[in-house]
Chains A and B, each alone.
Chain A
């Protein structure tokens, strides 16, 4: 049973525009959420995270929004750059447990 879902396998965006990647979860016990970026032949790289006590966290061009009532989070990248082209994974964890539950990923392509 997939507890974290990324329903868009791929997304293409023009350079300079906004990229919005979405993630839904089913387990209401999740209280910490992370986004990872993965380039080919590399491991996932931590990008940004958010605690369930917040609804927004910003770091430079990256902003994560959390809607607990909808069990939905999104990652906004503004402005998008060609170097952002990668697979993005959403992950979640439960307090007191250290394993991460991952979505299946969204491949972002930023077109120059």
Chain B
């Protein structure tokens, strides 16, 4: 049973560019959440997708957008990259119903130069 998979593992971009990160949820899960983890901090919630719609959003600007596909996989897009966007981006999947245990992928390390 494959867990949560994310791609790419590492990414280097320059300021002003745009980036797309991808996530495949754990088998059987229908909900995908994205988190940003800066160095030395805990993960911070960006947004959550269920039934192909953004259901909940954290305190992140509109430069951060996402999408969920019919197979429950998801993408995180960040436009107009800033140096401060450098972080580990984590995807988590869960079941919409029931207790809220989220299972995380290994993350994508984004470096903005």
- Residues on A lying within 8 angstroms of B by beta carbon are 4, 6, 32, 34, 36, 41-46, 49, 51, 89, 91, 93, 97-105
What would 6 more interface pairs be, CB under 8 Å, given A98-B94, A98-B100, A102-B44?
Answer: A32-B99, A36-B104, A44-B90, A91-B42, A100-B33, A100-B100
Pick from A46, A93, A97: contact of B103, CB under 8 Å: A46
What band does the interface of chain B fall in when counting residues whose beta carbon is under 8 Å from A? 20 to 34
**A93–B100 CB distance below 8 A:** yes
- With contacts A99-B33, A99-B45, A104-B42 taken as known, whether A32 is within 8 angstroms of B4 at the C-beta atoms is no
- With contacts A43-B90, A98-B33 taken as known, whether A89 is within 8 angstroms of B42 at the C-beta atoms is yes
**A103 — nearest CB in chain B belongs to which residue?**
B42
**A94 — nearest CB in chain B belongs to which residue?**
B100
Complex Cα distance A69/B92, Å?
30
Pick from A49, A89, A97: contact of B43, CB under 8 Å: A89
A49, A93, A99 — most chain B CB neighbours (10 Å): A99
Q: What are the 10 A-B residue pairs with the smallest beta carbon separation, nearest first?
A: A102-B42, A43-B104, A99-B45, A43-B106, A44-B104, A102-B43, A104-B42, A43-B105, A93-B100, A103-B42
